Amino acid sequence: MSISLPTYTRRETPLLGRSKRVGAIITTGLRRELRRPASIVVTGIGAALTTISSILIVYLAPFLFPGQLLDLSFFYVPASNGAILFFVTLMSAVVGSGLIADDLHSMALTLYFSRPITHGDYVLAKAAILGPLISLVSVLPLVITPIVAALLGFFPWDVALAAIGLSILAGVLFGGFYTAATLFLSSLTTRRAYAGAGVFAMTFGLTFPAQILASATGNSVFLYASAWENYLAVARALFGAPQTTIDWPPALAILLGATALAALSTYARMRTREVVAT
């Protein structure tokens, strides 16, 4: 009887493809955020209050705006609802501030980039987590409002359908800017609190001073420094409301340019991170 060492067979497990790895980052991130009490509260309250207030504006329009024409231009009123600005800012600070900062703090980026995904894949995955959550405030209320208005008989369906399409464009533009800007701020630090503070500083540190300077000097050019004012200018143009402050072409260019710059800067930040070679 011979004595021999046991033999072992190594089983090769195929690695998941690149698209599935990106999908795993998105689903894991959404699942984690939807389980956090702070994210649940902010998302739920933000979506509910913004939607309810927009519907009330439509329902009470004859009393609140007696001279307002009930046509497509009316839907600029719910699109300019200040609750959108507040809750988009709050959601960006609570949900988005830690999407990259937490990975930097825990060194999880090393694990992400040691697998077959690119830096661009990582940034797009994080944007796919934050973007849909922000759209619950920046897009969803603006879409529900024309539907309710048509169901109540205040507007014909052709006007309501046009308002829905324009609302999606306006909401995606505004939400896209905050998604890109928040991810950039999150990539600058390992502390989500610092990134969250940066989101509030970006919003209220630019919007209020710009409005004060424009009012004090009589020069509306200061309003171009505010993303909210640029969004309002574009929304006025989309819905056919009178342009009262700044022109929409420069405002649109500023919003798109700032969004692209923030996205590219976030990508560049990720490119500078040291990772384990594959």
**What digits encode the pLDDT tens for the residues 40-68?**
888 889 889 888 888 888 777 767 766 66
Residue 116, phi then psi, degrees to nearest 5: -75, 65
- How far is 136 from 127, CA to CA, in rounded Å? 14
Residue 231's domain spans which residues? 18-271
Judge whether 7 lies within some domain.
no
Judge whether 164 lies within some domain.
yes
Residue labelled with tokens 């509306």: 220
Judge whether 4 lies within some domain.
no
98-157: pLDDT as tens digits: 889 888 888 777 777 666 678 888 899 999 999 999 999 999 999 999 998 888 888 888
Which of the two residues, 238 and 272, has the higher pLDDT score?
238
DSSP 153: T
Can you give the pLDDT at residue 149? 86
Judge whether 13 lies within some domain.
no
Judge whether 40 lies within some domain.
yes
Can you give the pLDDT at residue 2? 55
- How far is 186 from 100, CA to CA, in rounded Å? 5
Q: In terms of Cα–Cα distance, which of 200, 186, 185 is closest to 87?
A: 200
Judge whether 278 lies within some domain.
no
Judge whether 200 lies within some domain.
yes
Query: How many domains does the structure of the chain reveal?
Result: 1
- How far is 119 from 264, CA to CA, in rounded Å? 11
- How far is 167 from 158, CA to CA, in rounded Å? 14
Residue labelled with tokens 């509910």: 48
- How far is 182 from 131, CA to CA, in rounded Å? 10
Judge whether 234 lies within some domain.
yes
